[in-house]
Structure 1
Amino acid sequence: MELVTISDIEAAAKRVEGVAVRTPLLLQTWDPRGTLWLKPESLQPIGAFKVRGAFNAIGSLDDAARERGVIAYSSGNHAQAVAYAAQRYGVPAVIVVPDVAPRIKVEATRAYGAEVIEVPIGEHEAKARELAAERGLTLVPPFDDAAIIAGQGTAGLEIAEELPEVDVVLVPISGGGLAAGVGTAIKARCPRARVIGVEPALAADAADSLRRGELVRWPQADRARTIADGLRSQPSELTFAHLREVVDAMVTVTEDEIREAVRVLARQARLVAEPSGAVTTAAYLFHAEELPAGKTVALVSGGNADPAMFAEILAG
């Protein structure tokens, strides 16, 4: 299986330049250890890192494919990213979402001009593939694609350029596209740095898989228990092959730890983070004994928090 290379990520960086925000590394002065930097991908145009992969994937298509249009399946952030990228490129877009997806993400996707189709949870991928075949649309998957992985890897390229002496990079893992890309970039540019994947304990299928050395599938009902709705997917064969090469260790965090990390990010870092985006900070705050020492970057992957849930967490 051919893996994404640093050259692929460098090419992606040129495609997304001027569209994806080059998010800063923010040293957290409230941290008593003084070793935490946050990379707030929540500041991207659609509020999450997914814009990087979507722009690289659509930017890699030929004119004929763009004219026919694209289709994607997603619980929210990838949906918005593809809709936004398609709008910027003038490409028709259809997005299939589970009917339990956060309304804030669904409505934002519609606002970018995409046709949104809602189906029962667990059926959105199959429906998207069916419609792609029927309508001649190009499927832009959320993570199982080399162009997506390379696009997400541009975040890792930025970390390496801004903090070349980084010791630890904390990355959330769901489908694995972000960790695959960021890990590839970090290993190429900062080979001494350790890449640590972070998952909710209630959806720790990647940790389970890496421990066993093979893909382990958790039931959808089990993965749906976590408040981190953006981390309920599972790695593909492609992303898992990357994870085995570039992820040095895994940390899992509890639901209470995720909630507290959301509060800390809001109150101390002045950042709005959805639960999925807060898991890396949770790992830093509550699992220091499982992490290597040194300069640590926690990637805050998204900030599209449901307003009611966000208020409830802050009040807790």
Structure 2
Amino acid sequence: MSEDPFVSVDEIVAARRTIAGAIRHTPVEPSASLSGRTGVPVTLKLEHHQHSGSFKFRGATNAVLSLTPAERAAGVVGVSTGNHGRGLARAAAAAGVRCVIAMSELVPANKVAAIRGEGADVLIGGRSQDEAQQAVDRLVAEGMTMIPPFDDRRVIAGQGTLGLEMLEDMPAVDTVVVPLSGGGLISGVAAALKARKSGIRVVGVSMERGAAMHASLAAGRPVEVRELPTLADSLGGGIGLGNRHTFVMVRALVDDVVLLTEAEIALGIHHCYWQERQIVEGSGAVGVAALLAGKIALEGPTMLLLSGGNIDMALHHRVVSGETVDVADEAA
């Protein structure tokens, strides 16, 4: 009998118990500026205040704390665009487990340095996550345990704890807006929300440059896309042609997906800083950016998930100062 690809709310509740002593229940703040602009109550879930600077710490912690003694002794390895690596490195260090993170050459230097600062060994190679995955596969063959960034029951369940929090923080919420990359975050959040509240709407937001899940949904199956430089760098990477969980969960549970230009993402970062007084990376600001761009129609109370704050501060300064920044030109 094949494994059910859907992660259940019971698994998410169990994950919440597992990670309760390790994570922060991150705060929520009403946004007067966005509420005034949209005409409905808009609240921000400040998950960029989580340990390691992003939601990734939730799933990584649940996965590490679920390891067998033999797996703990052998160590863990993962591939990352930055935030999963940092979350996994911190979770492994807290548990006394060796950790190796493989990343492509497109990962910003500040995120590489942060992962090393958490105590992990770092391997850099290739121009995509798929190429970086080859190094992970070699280490798994040598006995280490891979903890994927998104397509894993333990990881999805850990990220889903955010959905439980969000509904407790704003019981009247009608629409939840979530950054979308490989789908581990939005799958878990949507599974939790829709199990607890009928009729709630979940909207995913990604960038126009290399949105793998969006392309896969359009094709009706997981497909590869070219990974391109973007201000929303944490949303880069493929979903895996052998995707086991997140593709079917996103297809079934997410009501809409919208894409943003680089200029729109920059405005989201700019707004978060000047209007909300929050330092948020591009991937974490896409929900705000989508509202500013008028790409999501709102009918009732709305919560935006600010998922990460691990942006290079020199880049952040340029964006919030109004400079036109195209990371693709700078990477060429």
TM range, smaller chain: over 0.9
Partners of 1:88 and 1:225 in 2: CA distance: 32
Pairing 1:124–2:127 present = no
Pairing 1:261–2:268 present = yes
Pairing 1:19–2:22 present = yes
Q: Which residue of 1 aligns with 2:199?
A: 192
| Counterpart residue identity of residue 250, structure 2 | L
Partners of 2:132 and 2:33 in 1: CA distance: 42
Query: Which of 8, 12, 25 lines up with 1:9 in the alignment?
Result: 12
Pairing 1:52–2:70 present = no
| Counterpart residue identity of residue 271, structure 1 | Q
Pairing 1:83–2:101 present = no
Q: Which residue of 1 aligns with 2:147?
A: 140
Query: Which of 166, 171, 176 lines up with 2:173 in the alignment?
Result: 166
Partners of 1:173 and 1:270 in 2: CA distance: 23
What is the TM-score with the length of structure 2 in the denominator? 0.90
| Counterpart residue identity of residue 129, structure 1 | D
What is the Cα deviation at residue 91 of structure 1?
Answer: 0.7
Partners of 1:121 and 1:35 in 2: CA distance: 42
Where 2:209 maps in the other structure, the secondary structure is helix
Pairing 1:232–2:236 present = yes
Question: Deviation digits for residues 251-273 of structure 1, max 9, x if unmatched?
Answer: 11111111011011011111110
Pairing 1:312–2:315 present = no
5+ residue gaps, structure 2: 323-332
Pairing 1:247–2:254 present = yes
Q: Judging changes above 3 Å, is the alpha-carbon distance between structure 1 residues 205 and 287 closer, same or farther for their aligned structure 2 residues?
A: farther
Pairing 1:30–2:11 present = no
Q: Which residue of 1 aligns with 2:290?
A: 283
Correspondence 1:205-224 to 2 at 5 A:
205-220=212-227, 224=228
Pairing 1:61–2:67 present = yes
Question: Deviation digits for residues 182-232 of structure 1, max 9, x if unmatched?
Answer: 010111112211000111122333223324433332223xxx142211111
| Counterpart residue identity of residue 41, structure 1 | E
| Counterpart residue identity of residue 18, structure 2 | R
Partners of 2:169 and 2:305 in 1: CA distance: 14
Where 1:283 maps in the other structure, the secondary structure is helix
Correspondence 1:99-110 to 2 at 5 A:
99-110=105-116
Q: Judging changes above 3 Å, is the alpha-carbon distance between structure 1 residues 270 and 206 closer, same or farther for their aligned structure 2 residues?
A: same
What is the TM-score with the length of structure 1 in the denominator? 0.95
Question: Deviation digits for residues 55-83 of structure 1, max 9, x if unmatched?
Answer: 00011111121111111111210110111
Question: What is the RMSD computed on CA atoms of the aligned residues?
Answer: 1.4
Where 2:191 maps in the other structure, the secondary structure is helix
What is the Cα deviation at residue 30 of structure 1?
Answer: 2.3
Residue 169 of structure 1 contacts residue 194 of structure 1 at CA under 8 Å; is this kept in 2?
yes
Q: Which has the larger displacement, 297-306 or 110-119?
A: 110-119
Question: Deviation digits for residues 135-186 of structure 1, max 9, x if unmatched?
Answer: x111011011110100010111101122122100001111110011001011
Residue 71 of structure 1 contacts residue 93 of structure 1 at CA under 8 Å; is this kept in 2?
yes
Where 1:96 maps in the other structure, the secondary structure is strand
Query: Which of 270, 295, 306 lines up with 1:300 in the alignment?
Result: 306
Pairs aligned (count) = 311
What is the Cα deviation at residue 34 of structure 1?
Answer: 4.6
Where 1:30 maps in the other structure, the secondary structure is helix
Partners of 1:156 and 1:51 in 2: CA distance: 15
Partners of 1:92 and 1:225 in 2: CA distance: 30
Residue 81 of structure 2 contacts residue 237 of structure 2 at CA under 8 Å; is this kept in 1?
no
